A and B are shown apart, each in its own frame.
Chain A
Amino acid sequence: MKQVLEGSQAVAEAVRLAGVQVVSAYPITPQTHIVEILSDYCATGKMNAKFLRVESEHSCMAALIGAQSAGVRTFTATSGQGLALMHELLHWASGARLPIVMAEVNRALAPGWNIWVDQTDTLAQRDTGWIQFYCEDSQEVIDTTLQAYKLAESVALPVMVVLDAFFLSHTYEPVDVPSQEEVDRFLPPYEARFELDTKNPCSFGPLVPPAVYMEMRHDMAAAMDTALATFPVIEDEFAALFGRRYGAVEAIACDDAEIVFVTSGTITSTARLVLENLRGRGEKLGIAKIKLFRPFPVDEVRKALKGAKKIAVIDRNFSFGASGIFAQEIRAALCNAPDHAPVFGYIAGIGGRDVTPEVLEEIYWKTKHNALPERESVWIGLQEVSHGS
């Protein structure tokens, strides 16, 4: 059924439909709408779930680790500082092989205080063993959240569904909300593959000596690889039921493109507009939208970028002392591929600044007019600032 929802609502609808049993969250802007709606669902019985109103994001993830270990489906949402506070327990959740699903509304990190979109918070958690999806619109949010549970439970790793602050979390769009019956066909009720059980007592997360720790980490690495292989299968199942498919990487007009933008999140939608515009003017632009960031879909990326003469990665994030994080990943993915195109790194929209079609066109022309990148990262739209320090 089509409804006009903001991104936050889309998340909440997916969580409701997924039959989540324990929700825990701590309020942080701009994720708040998600938990407000879920609180309401729990209070009114729209959802048969318990809502744990914990005193911090750290406790939030700890509580979900406890709940998921005790054998129920769980959910939380957070943003920026909250995710940073959770950091320790992100490792814990994945190491414990718990299929927790979290919605993360990208928010810039302080100081100074900034509640607007910036992907550095989630990308800084790329090594925690969580699967990460970056969504472009509310439909993708609701669909990805449902798929996230299926994937997480299949490979026994947690999943982060990432959406841009405000541009997605607070933007209303028409969304096709599937019925409960349809969702149930896709995602059956949760059955834990291991859980705390008084009839089968065992000890979760004990001391692990060097003799076996490495094997455990290797098994997680293998599960990530499996996730890469499993995601298309889950997409097939989803597409068969709902008729929608996204791909770990969506290659848009890449076949004959000379310059390919690498995008993620809502910037992709703007890029689609720019692509249409530039193509109308004879410019051969393509887009590779990265949806799945962890595990990183190296083969699909290589495939999408195969014919490009130049690659322009647009990063709304930054790894200080290095470059935009997507750019790093693209370069790493391509370095062992034969004859790959040069990678131009662009930093745009940091801290919630608009990435308008004009910004993207500027990136296009810069890329077109330079044979090779001037620098590893080119910051777009920097202004002369003088506020009398």
Chain B
Amino acid sequence: MDLELTEREFMYPGHVGCPGCGAAIAMRFVLKALGEKMMMVLPACCWSVIAGPYPSTTLKIPVIHSAFETGGAVASGVRAALDMKGDTDTTVVTWAGDGGTFDIGFQALSGAVERNEDFIYVCYDNEAYMNTGIQRSSSTPYGAWTTTTPGKDWKKMRKKNIVEALAAHRIPYAATASISHPEDLVRKVKRAQAVKGSRFLHIFASCPTGWKIPSEMAVKIARMAVQTNIFPLYEVEEGLHYTINYKPKRFPVREYFKIQGRFQHLKDEDLDVIQKMVDEDWELLLRKAGEHA
């Protein structure tokens, strides 16, 4: 794969991400795609820990850790300050997990993109509060076990469609991406960097620990999510123009669910329900992209 990425690394080894951490892979790709002229706002998430305890940092870029719900707001402030200092070519990036994006940070994110703040908001999505011990978030998919959706109380609500929520704000650029598709991911990061205003990247970043899969499967499982249409790759410009970047063969979702410990309790009929949801979402996306199934 030739991603035309710099040989330079913007992360030091020695970070404390779990073996096979999808979020670490996502970070590495994004940093390499963006380069050194960037600053990162890091609201509470797995990466608050991965980034390293005082006095060390695994990131070779300026980072400001921030409160859980403040990703959109802190970035707004950083951007404003840079603008006042006449620095318009440094990219401000918020790097948040799904909890900090879908849930507690949603208001600040909504506020920031409504103001069309000039920054890139990246949500690396591992579908639960992993850092705190695998609690459900509004990004946790239907059917998942978490420590707060245990036993028969497995999550019976759909995953919030965050990109649609962002698209509804009519932001200049919103896209999904996956660590399993680096070419697509890197292209989208670079594209986002070139756009002015609020940009949102939703990166699917598997979590071997929380999903209960072997660490070596981290990328494979993310790829399966794309191949099954569970996590379609697409981008939305101005909230209006949809482009589907990858049209998979639509493998049945079953395989994806069968190999993850967090879904082990699901019965065949549950998987049928999920398959229906996935198909429904895909049809909807096709319609938005003007491509009737």
Contact = CB atoms under 8 A, between A and B. Distances in A.
Direct contact of A and B (CB under 8 A): yes
Interface of A: 21-22, 24, 48-50, 52-56, 58-60, 62-72, 74, 88-89, 92, 196-198, 200-209, 212
Contacts of B110: 55
A67 B80 contact: yes
A21 B69 CA distance: 24
Contacts of A68: 77, 81
A335 to B, nearest CB: 36
B38 A198 contact: yes
Contact of B111 (A56, A71, A196): A56
Contacts of A212: 54-55
Contact of A55 (B59, B77, B85, B111): B111
Given A55-B114, A206-B48, 9 more contacts: A56-B108, A59-B70, A66-B81, A68-B81, A69-B78, A69-B81, A201-B62, A203-B52, A204-B65
A116 to B, nearest CB: 28
A64 B53 contact: no
B55 to A, nearest CB: 8
Interface string B111-135: 1101100000000000000000000
Contacts of A198: 36-39, 61-62, 90
B49 interface: yes
B74 A203 contact: no
Contacts of B64: 65-66, 69, 196, 203-205
B172 interface: no
Nearest to B60: A201
Contacts of B80: 22, 24, 50, 52, 63, 66-67, 72
A286 to B, nearest CB: 45
A68 B74 CA distance: 10
Given A58-B108, A207-B49, A209-B54, A92 B77 contact: no
A69 B51 CA distance: 18
Contacts of B76: 24, 52, 54, 59, 63, 66
B66 A196 contact: no
Contacts of A65: 64, 66, 70, 74, 77
A92 B66 contact: yes
B108 A62 contact: yes
A55 B105 CA distance: 12
A21 B54 contact: no
Nearest to B38: A198
B54 A64 contact: no
Contact of B70 (A71, A72, A89): A89
B111 A70 contact: no
Contacts of B59: 201, 203
Contact of B62 (A21, A74, A196): A196
Contacts of A207: 48-49, 51-54
Contacts of B49: 207
Contacts of A66: 41, 64, 66, 73-81
B193 interface: no
25 contacts: A24-B80, A50-B80, A54-B73, A55-B110, A56-B111, A59-B70, A59-B112, A62-B67, A63-B76, A63-B80, A69-B81, A70-B81, A70-B82, A88-B67, A196-B64, A198-B37, A198-B38, A198-B39, A200-B62, A204-B63, A205-B64, A205-B65, A206-B48, A206-B65, A209-B54
Contacts of A201: 59-63
B107 interface: yes
B216 interface: no
A65 B63 CA distance: 13
> Which of A59, A205, A208 has most B Cβ within 10 Å?
A59
Contact of B81 (A48, A59, A62, A71): A71
B72 interface: yes
Contact of B77 (A22, A49, A58, A204): A22
**Which residue, A21, A74, A198, A212, has most C-beta atoms of chain B within 10 A?**
A198
Nearest to A91: B67
A59 B72 contact: yes
Given A22-B84, A204-B64, A196 B77 contact: no
A72 B85 contact: yes
